[in-house]
Amino acid sequence: MSGSRTDPRPMLRLETRMVRKARVLAAKSGAPVVKMAKRHTTISVERAVLRLAGLEGADVDGIPWVNRLVDAVREQTGLEHGVALPVWDALLATGEDLHTLAQKAASGSVTFRIPTGASAVKASEASIASVAKGFARIDANRASRDRSIAKYGNPATPWIYLIVATGDIHEDIPQAQAAARAGADVIAVIRSTGQSLLDYVPEGETREGYAGTYATQANFALMRAALDETSKELGRYVRLTNYASGLCMPEIAVLAGLERLDMMLNDSMYGILFRDINPVRTFIDQRFSRQIHARAGIIINTGEDNYLTTADAVEAAHTVTVSQLLNEYFAKEAGLEDWQLGLGHAFEIDPEVPDSFRLELAHAMLARALFPDAPLKWMPPTKHMTGDIFRGYLLNGFFNLAGALTGQGIVLVGMMTEAVATPWLSDRDLALENVRYVFKAAGKLHQDFHAASDGFIATRARHVLAESVALLERIADDTLLEAIAQGTFGLMKRPADSGRGRDGVFLKAPGYVNPANAFLEKGASR
């Protein structure tokens, strides 16, 4: 999706040796985390297995059956062997289906065990056959997306990314369709505030959410069907985005694959830094989630922009680059390809800083140079929006211009009323008009624009890369988990032994079985 763009590497004069060193150090920093993730499982990974096998629904209290069943297994046998062996051993013994077994387990009328020998082999094989149905659905959805793109057409890049979320899925749908008709190519339905901290996925259609709409399988299906109608109407495929983050990251990734979402916000450290979710659990969950995204053909969006809401965008610029390199390593290890890496950065330098636009351009060009084949996603100004709508509209225009100059792949629409209130529909229309005007007027300006190799922009880009390499050297020596504990990213200190969800992490025992691995691991460790 990168299209035709000028390669900024020669004009920035980035040393090939330094770029290679940065990636080697990112791999050295990330490899111990991957090793740790492979040796552990989490309660949400185990629930995701049951979702792949088709277990849906919730009890009268709204607690999903996957939670009820996994909790029952955990209480009786622990989860060190995984949920598959005890559950499918019980299914083979009783002849029940998953839903009935979950109901009985919730009432305490099922006894689970860890089978051994031939019984373990039979349970493992039965679990693989069950989750195969879920993967068949995910594969069919990927093929369906490809057919829709071929039939309706792919919008030209950059894709215009617009947020819709009223709290009511039935209000979101007409707003999303209207946004697509007004020019949006990607519709992001942001989640209700605090959902990332729920250790279960709400069930069914929801009509009440705060500053967002709950991410549920039913809501995913409703919005996907509505945007399919709009894609047919407009003659271009409209993409749907949600959030695979928080305590239920693996489960939401599975639901996204089952309901054909196209993009998911999935950053390796966001939940750690900004939701105080345990670092160990987050890294385990994000690896499984990204393996699902790789299989489903989903583009991930990473969250480096969030660092600059708490740290200074100039002083902390190198931490964004380091995070991008780490996100790239973790993503490719999980099987994702370059076209699926919507790596993040943000237009968050204080406009009062001299040469602020030149600095923004330097950082954007560095990201483009380091990741030439990735559909970078740049976030609009938020931190320094003051409520002056005219200034805000102008800042968003500069943001869009920087995106045009650097060939951004995904551009989030900046609202002039950011930091004032939830935008009016008229604000959204004006914001879309700003994007359309700048990109139409700029045209292929990125093909003509050349920064002087010894000038301010190129010098700044090389400086940030050098700082990034120095930081990666420290991280590789001290470990990534220690760097996070010290507040390296976003000024947030998150020790590895603290944070929400720590009690949901389990060291795998010998003989651990996860039937999803038969479909996922062959695409990982690239």
Q: If pLDDT is split at 50, 70 and 90, which confidence band does 309 have?
A: confident
Tokens 């955990």, residue located? 74
- Parts of the chain belonging to CATH 3.20.20.440: 9-31+156-463
Instruction: Give CA–CA dist 144/148, Å, rounded.
Output: 6
Q: In this structure, what DSSP letter does residue 506 have?
A: E
Which of 2-16, 73-87, 110-124, 146-160 is least confident?
2-16
pLDDT tens string 164-190: 988 999 999 999 999 999 999 999 999
Instruction: Give CA–CA dist 191/241, Å, rounded.
Output: 11
- Output the pLDDT for position 450: 87
Q: If pLDDT is split at 50, 70 and 90, which confidence band does 523 have?
A: low
pLDDT tens string 336-348: 999 999 998 889 9
- Mean pLDDT for the stretch of residues 369-378: 92
In the predicted structure, residue 526 carries a pLDDT above the cut 70: no
Instruction: Give CA–CA dist 385/121, Å, rounded.
Output: 60
- Mean pLDDT for the stretch of residues 125-143: 98
Q: If pLDDT is split at 50, 70 and 90, which confidence band does 6 have?
A: low
Contacts of 120 (CB under 8 A, 6+ apart): 85, 89, 114, 511, 513
In the predicted structure, residue 9 carries a pLDDT above the cut 90: no
3-state SS of 372-436 is: CCCCCEEECCCCCCCCCHHHHHHHHHHHHHHHHHHCCCEEECCCCCCCCCCCCHHHHHHHHHHHH
- Output the pLDDT for position 477: 93
pLDDT tens string 457-484: 999 999 999 999 999 999 999 999 999 9
CA proximity to 462, closest of 343, 325, 365: 365
- Output the pLDDT for position 3: 45
pLDDT tens string 401-450: 999 998 888 999 999 887 766 678 888 899 999 999 999 999 888 888 88
Annotation marks residue 161 as catalytic: no
Annotation marks residue 305 as catalytic: yes
- Mean pLDDT for the stretch of residues 220-232: 98
- Output the pLDDT for position 178: 94
Q: If pLDDT is split at 50, 70 and 90, which confidence band does 521 have?
A: confident
Tell which wins on pLDDT, 372 or 4: 372
- Name the active-site residue from 172, 267, 305, 427: 305
- Name the active-site residue from 270, 307, 393, 512: 270
- Mean pLDDT for the stretch of residues 42-66: 97
- Output the pLDDT for position 10: 77
The CA–CA distances, whole Å, from 453 to 49, 157, 253, 396 equal 52, 27, 43, 27
Written as six digits, the tokens of 474 are 């420290």
For 9-31+156-463, CATH number out of 1.10.10.10, 3.30.450.40, 3.20.20.440, 3.30.465.10 equals: 3.20.20.440
Instruction: Give CA–CA dist 252/338, Å, rounded.
Output: 22
pLDDT tens string 72-118: 999 999 999 999 999 999 999 999 999 999 999 999 999 999 999 99
pLDDT tens string 30-41: 999 999 999 999
Does 423 sit behind a cis peptide bond, omega within 30 degrees of 0 on the bond before it? no
- Name the active-site residue from 262, 377, 393, 427: 377
Q: If pLDDT is split at 50, 70 and 90, which confidence band does 491 have?
A: confident
Instruction: Give CA–CA dist 226/177, Å, rounded.
Output: 7
Annotation marks residue 210 as catalytic: no
Helix axes 43-52, 117-152, angle to 10 degrees: 70
Q: What is the DSSP string of 52-97?
A: HTT---B-TTS-BHHHHHHHHHHHHH-STT-SHHHHHHHHHHH---
